[in-house]
Amino acid sequence: MSKVYNFSAGPAMLPVEVMKKCQEEFLNYNGLGVSIIEMSHRSKDYMEVANQAVADLRDLLKLPDNYKVLFMHGGGRGMFANIAMNLAQPNGCADYLVGGAWAGYAAAEGKKYTNVNEIKIDSVNDKNLVTINTKNLPLNKDAQYVHVCLNETIHGIEIFDDINTNNVPLIADASSNILSRPLDVTKYGIVYAGAQKNIGPSGFAIAIVREDLIGHALPFCPSVYDFKVTYEHDSMFNTPNTFAWYLSGLVFKWIKDFGGLEAMEARNKEKADYLYGFIDSCDFYSNNVDKSCRSRMNVPFFLKNSDLNQEFLDKAKEAGLCNLKGHRVLGGMRASIYNAMPIEGVKALVEFMDKFAKEHK
Ligand SMILES: *Cc1c(COP(=O)(O)O)cnc(C)c1O
């Protein structure tokens, strides 16, 4: 197989070591003669896999005992509904900080269950760059929760600042930057993520929930989405996605072997700095996000001459650089460089971009 670097925004590339391990043991897990996806989730062998995955995730994020790890169904958007169904109160309200597409989608889902206050946090500064403000927000003191998206996958905006919500639980969608850097979860009531960007297969979601936020689901909340039911059954009220759980566990182990979240952050910073550094140095390309909130995971960029977009994509593909087309909301290009992308992939992309720019001067 020729070498390809996959810049897909999601489902995204996974570490090659993880994929190889999964392949090696797929038909015959641990000498049992059956696949990991063919065994009972309650069997001793599977329980070991399941418990180890939770323990490794807890360890990576240094979770205190009062934060519970729940594995949920329905991916990121499933969690948009789950958050509201588990935290909203009849006639209550919630604040949604909106600074990009995903935060807006979360707010729209929240509206089905509660009164949503949308608070705009993005704006364009005098240099025509997108900036984010998370200070002195007009928060509602009666809100049941405040929702924020920590990394806007489409717009390439990441929030690095702490947000003060005056003790109203802050709920973070970290679907596209979870485990990319250390995160102090104690600043949040819940941190959740769809798995398919930095963790594992799609359709699966991880919710790290502070204990006191468990047990408030609205009466109509389906049992499989109720945090309390999920917690009381160790995320096995119904049959979980055993394969996704297993594969996520391999990824957690990979991150630990890599040196944990500090080491991962250093690698991600190096990749992002390299790519943005090149984009800023070359007038052929541009990125329109202020340095203070540029995403380390998703790098949207534009060619000065958008007539060259298709040729850029075709030539990139020939060079083994795949899935660089930007989201239809923004156009242009987007390179997603999650944990699994090696620095070599980013260097290959920059080398290609440089060559393409010189050929089209
Ligand atoms: C991808 C993504 C989602 C949606 O995930 P699905 O699993 O497709 O529902 C939600 N939020 C963010 C920030 C995302 O990047």
The pLDDT of residue 2? 64
According to CATH, the topology of domain 17-257 is Aspartate Aminotransferase; domain 2 (3.40.640)
Based on the residue annotation, tell me whether 21 is a catalytic residue of this protein: no
Instruction: Write the pLDDT tens digit of every residue in 254-268.
Output: 999 999 999 999 999
**pTM of this structure:** 0.98
Ligand 1 atom having least distance to the Cα of 176: 15
Tens digit of pLDDT per residue, the chain (361 long)? 468 999 999 999 999 999 999 999 999 999 999 999 999 999 999 999 999 999 999 999 999 999 999 999 999 999 999 999 999 998 999 999 999 999 999 999 999 999 999 999 999 999 999 999 999 999 999 999 999 999 999 999 999 999 999 999 999 999 999 999 999 999 999 999 999 999 999 999 999 999 999 999 999 999 999 999 999 999 999 999 999 999 999 999 999 999 999 999 999 999 999 999 999 999 999 999 999 999 999 999 999 999 999 999 999 999 999 999 999 999 999 999 999 999 999 999 999 999 999 999 8
pLDDT > 90 fraction of the chain, expressed in percent and rounded: 98
Contact 284, 352 (CB under 8 A): no
Catalytic option among 56, 68, 95, 102: 102
Q: Report how far residue 184's alpha carbon sits from residue 292's, in angstroms, rounded to the nearest whole number.
A: 19
Q: How far is the CA of 160 from the centre of ligand 1 (A)?
A: 19
Q: How far is CA 234 from CA 48, 68, 211, 267, in A?
A: 13, 10, 14, 33
pLDDT at residue 3, as a whole number: 80
Over residues 51-67, the pLDDT tens digits come to 999 999 999 999 999 99
Q: What residue spans in the chain does CATH classification 3.90.1150.10 cover?
A: 260-359
Residues of CATH 3.40.640.10 domain(s) within the chain?
17-257
Pairing mode, strands 190-194 and 151-152: unpaired
pLDDT score for 272: 98
Q: Is the CB of 170 under 6 A from ligand 1?
A: no
pLDDT of 39: 97
Ligand 1, residue 203: give the atom nearest the CA: 7
**pLDDT value of residue 361:** 84
Question: What is the per-residue burial (b if ≥16 Cβ within 10 Å, else e) of 119-153?
Answer: bebbeeeeeebbbbebeebebeeebbbbbbbbbbb
Residue 304 in contact with residue 285, Cβ under 8 Å?
A: yes
Catalytically annotated residue among 56, 95, 122, 173: 173
Distance between CA atoms of residues 52 and 100, nearest Å: 35
CATH of range 260-359; options 3.50.50.60, 3.40.50.300, 3.90.1150.10, 3.20.20.70: 3.90.1150.10
